[in-house]
Structure 1
């Protein structure tokens, strides 16, 4: 019985095998004699070949000397093909799917010397209906190809010459929020490579090649395929138009899958990045963020150039030359939830000739910069006005400062920052500014700015996130403040040179339990001649904004304070102020304290408000009193000034100094003498009048 069963089984299996062989032979004969007619009548292509071999058991097809041509090239409903290839090898082809639906489903395909021009089919008219992927092939090999692919309107989508490609386990993806394809490994080599990326950009390269797993792209270009005006009008959800070139880009271990792009050791050589921004607002898109991850271990950019342009083509920011390195970059679903949607392990950027258009009134320049995740080093910083002082005064709607600032070096050292609850938390160990030269000009001609000027303690509190600068130093610097009034002859000027300032614990009062006291010490030369020391303290946690400021100025030639007192008090002075001491305290409303001055050989000249000429007689009388009273000045005088909240802290401070000067140097003596002199002048006038009247009376009597 068992022997009979085995015999029957053998007969059945043998019959099946013979049937398969016969089917294979029959199908091969059918393909040989009938396929040309089938292709001619049932497909939109004219296809010829020299030889054809089909193995039905393996689903393999091979053919050589193939030529293909679209029967109806003007029919946009189907894919148009035209060209030739020396050899075609397909394994595990689904022949029924190919013959029935013109879809290629195969395990692998190999094309040798293909010269093909392809025009894609017009999208289907039905709404929300996707066109099927025209092929599903896991492994693709192309040798020495010349291929061109066009849209239905003959816009080029892809082209490459001398094109070699070897892709393993390829899968295409139609999800727009993911990467368009995935693969396990690849090798590629091509000349004159071109690919259209979406509706806006095209990618060009003179040569692509992979050697030992490293992909190199020479003469890379990612450039707009539309001009800026067209883009600005038709792509309103995009803020920036990119134009990127590079002499060479290379990276290895490139990994693609539908949700991940990663690579190692990328190098970008001689790149030029040009970004052009629209002026109008971007139309917000409600589209969710792309659902794929990007990570790379190391990226090097060498000898790069970077520019951001306004819509009119003028530069708003540029960096003439820079090198950069970025390590451990990661952007995934988890990081995308954060304020900064990516993480990194470290970075370094160094560059030269940085320019920034800082708005309506200023340009900013840097000779060089170096930035890492812990430190920033800027050299030869400049913030320069675009306009003259007279133009600035005409342009501003209300009173404002005009700055002209430079610094040989700015160093921010020991930067530690992170995001907590969608807010930054920044701690800076040291900030050093060396050889700063700052000129601040204010004209009193425009109308007053009614906005309250905050004291520094309150200004720091307005920062909405934790900020602490442990040490801030200003080294060997120069500060000049100039103020011009409608009735002054030239601006009043205050100068500080050899300016050294040390600030501790600069903070925004946002860290619980932290020290909020801010001590400031200043050593400098006042008016470029006299040693000056200042101690200034405030507390950012003090809601009344109490502060103290005290200091001294020694051996000050009186002539050197003329630029300050001459425009406002109509007074000039000579001699020496041997010491000037102040000890003030104040808050957001008032400032008061002690002021003391001692002088030697002091002489005062009173000036005419209009002509600015010296009033000789009045000045002589004043100096008699000044010399007489100079040794009788009190130890100190009380200063009291109310704060104008539309003015800065330094305005309040100098109002205190001015009040002290008036009470010690000017007001007590000069104003009193001026009153006495005016009384004497009136008396003399009256006496002259009476004498004249008497003379007239005598003359009348003689008649």
Structure 2
């Protein structure tokens, strides 16, 4: 009996201790929940309105769950609401008490945002927030998060004035590892550092302005490989409606690319400037149709050559290689009312571009090589390089066209040049070097029975006089060297209100005229 009393006493002590511990834990659990509620209800700035259903806190696991969350954010000064967000839940797991209490680190294993729906309203006053209080960027606390997950989100950007959608992303899913925010990173454009990430989305839509819109059926980023599915860049209106809305010339565009793939992609900010680096970009089976209504007022704004465009990009771009696989391009122009638009087609297009960069870490030029079939028949090759570092935009182009049947391009010639052609071009070679002002080069052709027919202004009949006079000066190909070639020179000055390809066309046309009408001898 004597031994039993001490044992009972020990049991009672243990039971009382456990009860006290449970009571203390319950008090701490309740206090923690009240602390979080007080923090959310009283510490959030006035321009942010937060509503939620319930809060669950578990001190043992260091977890937090907030359900049915609605967050409205207004402009601090103007008071107008610009962001609405609703989430099914916000959860946190593995809060680090030890480092928080004894150190300067606020950390957790995982934060998850479930089904966030974001609506952002563009407003001109949103970016004009002013405050007499200086921005506090320094902090001694370090925030560390092992894993951030956003599941099944949606983002919609709405233009406030017109109530039109400018940008949407459906089924937004993001996984981000090893986030850290400290007094150094908080001053950066992206205020935290991070490790590996994964991103995939459903449909993406972007309004690119008054005339075009871009859409994707989905995106996926994993291990720094980005894949875009079913990219579409199209005019918002059909050709006729677009022409009625224009006050100056603007192309109708219909571009579809089933797959775009970027490999070894890296992006971010260096100081205040955004950068994008990638080893390879591949466009699979792009199909583009461009239509220009020449009856609309010309656009006399000066156009930039591609080297200047690259040099003046607002971002740092460095792409080692760009490839186009099995592409198709059709360009058509309407020159006269009541006529069929003339069209030029390039099919089976394969192209590679190297050193597409404005970083200038090396002295390499941008090199382009392209092969296609002109009008679906004649093989055409183009080699082109330019140096975006140089202010005068120097470039070099060489091209080859073989087995070209001139009748295949007559639809374009009738519409655009009021002419038709007869005969075959077996081989055409040209080389061309120039800059932003002018270009020169040489050409050689091997052709048979090549002749022009000049049409009347209404394109309904032949202008016999001009056709006769023109063909007096056009050699049919019979007067050539022993290899069957005739030679010509090229010179053209650039019209700065036109594109680079207009510049290239002027040079090729000058070379053809010189080859056809000159003495045909090699200098």
Normalising by the smaller structure, the TM-score range is 0.7 to 0.9
Closer, same or farther: CA 469–628 of 1 in aligned 2, 3 Å: closer
Paired position in structure 1 for 2:329 = 479
Q: Indicate conservation of the 8 Å contact 1:139/1:168, yes or no.
A: no
Closer, same or farther: CA 302–418 of 1 in aligned 2, 3 Å: closer
Cα distance in 1, alignment partners of residues 172 and 357 from structure 2: 33
2:491 aligns with one of 636, 640, 656: 640
Paired position in structure 2 for 1:505 = 355
TM-superposed deviation, 1:496: 1.3
Closer, same or farther: CA 199–586 of 1 in aligned 2, 3 Å: closer
Q: CA RMSD in A?
A: 3.8
Comparing 498-507 with 411-420, which one deviates more in the overlay? Answer: 411-420
Cα distance in 2, alignment partners of residues 491 and 635 from structure 1: 32
TM-superposed deviation, 1:199: 5.0
1:468 aligns with one of 298, 306, 318: 318
Closer, same or farther: CA 313–140 of 1 in aligned 2, 3 Å: farther
Cα distance in 1, alignment partners of residues 508 and 410 from structure 2: 14
Cα distance in 2, alignment partners of residues 432 and 592 from structure 1: 33
Whether 1:243 aligns to 2:85 is yes
Whether 1:301 aligns to 2:150 is yes
Closer, same or farther: CA 484–658 of 1 in aligned 2, 3 Å: farther
Q: Indicate conservation of the 8 Å contact 2:488/2:512, yes or no.
A: no
Paired position in structure 2 for 1:339 = 189
1:559 aligns with one of 384, 401, 407: 407
Q: Indicate conservation of the 8 Å contact 1:194/1:205, yes or no.
A: no
Q: Mapping of 1:266-277 within 5 angstroms?
A: 266-277=111-122
Closer, same or farther: CA 197–589 of 1 in aligned 2, 3 Å: closer
Whether 1:375 aligns to 2:225 is yes
Q: Indicate conservation of the 8 Å contact 1:357/1:364, yes or no.
A: yes
Partner SS for 2:476: helix
Whether 1:328 aligns to 2:178 is yes
Q: Indicate conservation of the 8 Å contact 2:456/2:463, yes or no.
A: no
Could you say which structure has the greater relative contact order, defined with CA pairs below 8 angstroms and 6 or more residues apart? Answer: 2
Closer, same or farther: CA 302–281 of 1 in aligned 2, 3 Å: closer
Cα distance in 2, alignment partners of residues 493 and 318 from structure 1: 35
Cα distance in 1, alignment partners of residues 318 and 385 from structure 2: 16
Partner SS for 1:141: helix
Paired position in structure 1 for 2:95 = 254
Q: If the length of structure 1 is used for normalisation, what is the TM-score?
A: 0.61
Alpha-carbon deviations, 1:66-113, whole Å to 9, x = none? xxxxxxxxxxxxxxxxxxxxxxxxx9xxxxxxxxxxxxxxxxxx9xxx
TM-superposed deviation, 1:369: 0.4
Comparing 285-294 with 592-601, which one deviates more in the overlay? Answer: 285-294
Closer, same or farther: CA 520–572 of 1 in aligned 2, 3 Å: same
Partner SS for 2:226: strand
TM-superposed deviation, 1:373: 6.9
TM-superposed deviation, 1:562: 1.6
1:353 aligns with one of 203, 208, 213: 203
TM-superposed deviation, 1:430: 0.9
Paired position in structure 1 for 2:457 = 609
Q: Indicate conservation of the 8 Å contact 1:252/1:265, yes or no.
A: yes
Paired position in structure 2 for 1:440 = 290
Unaligned runs of 5+ in 1: 1-90, 92-109, 111-137, 143-163, 174-179, 182-192, 226-230, 670-703
Whether 1:590 aligns to 2:434 is no
Closer, same or farther: CA 261–394 of 1 in aligned 2, 3 Å: farther
2:427 aligns with one of 552, 563, 579: 579
Closer, same or farther: CA 619–578 of 1 in aligned 2, 3 Å: farther
TM-superposed deviation, 1:532: 0.7
2:500 aligns with one of 643, 649, 655: 649
Cα distance in 1, alignment partners of residues 383 and 467 from structure 2: 39
Paired position in structure 2 for 1:528 = 376
Cα distance in 1, alignment partners of residues 119 and 475 from structure 2: 73
Cα distance in 2, alignment partners of residues 335 and 522 from structure 1: 44
Paired position in structure 2 for 1:315 = 165
Cα distance in 2, alignment partners of residues 397 and 274 from structure 1: 34
Closer, same or farther: CA 238–503 of 1 in aligned 2, 3 Å: farther
Cα distance in 1, alignment partners of residues 324 and 234 from structure 2: 20
Unaligned runs of 5+ in 2: 1-19
TM-superposed deviation, 1:326: 0.9
Closer, same or farther: CA 336–195 of 1 in aligned 2, 3 Å: closer
Cα distance in 2, alignment partners of residues 171 and 218 from structure 1: 10
TM-superposed deviation, 1:576: 2.6
Q: Mapping of 1:661-676 within 5 angstroms?
A: 661-664=512-515
Cα distance in 2, alignment partners of residues 560 and 194 from structure 1: 76
TM-superposed deviation, 1:386: 0.9
Cα distance in 2, alignment partners of residues 315 and 261 from structure 1: 38
Paired position in structure 1 for 2:72 = 224
Partner SS for 1:662: helix
Q: Indicate conservation of the 8 Å contact 1:214/1:250, yes or no.
A: no
Cα distance in 1, alignment partners of residues 36 and 72 from structure 2: 28
Q: Indicate conservation of the 8 Å contact 2:450/2:476, yes or no.
A: no
Cα distance in 2, alignment partners of residues 452 and 624 from structure 1: 36
Paired position in structure 2 for 1:398 = 248
Alpha-carbon deviations, 1:526-545, whole Å to 9, x = none? 12221111111222233332
Closer, same or farther: CA 375–278 of 1 in aligned 2, 3 Å: same
> Rg bigger for which structure?
1
TM-superposed deviation, 1:616: 7.7
Closer, same or farther: CA 276–372 of 1 in aligned 2, 3 Å: farther
Cα distance in 1, alignment partners of residues 372 and 262 from structure 2: 23
Cα distance in 1, alignment partners of residues 249 and 27 from structure 2: 72
Partner SS for 2:477: helix
Closer, same or farther: CA 284–546 of 1 in aligned 2, 3 Å: same
Cα distance in 1, alignment partners of residues 123 and 385 from structure 2: 46
Comparing 205-214 with 582-591, which one deviates more in the overlay? Answer: 205-214
Partner SS for 1:515: coil
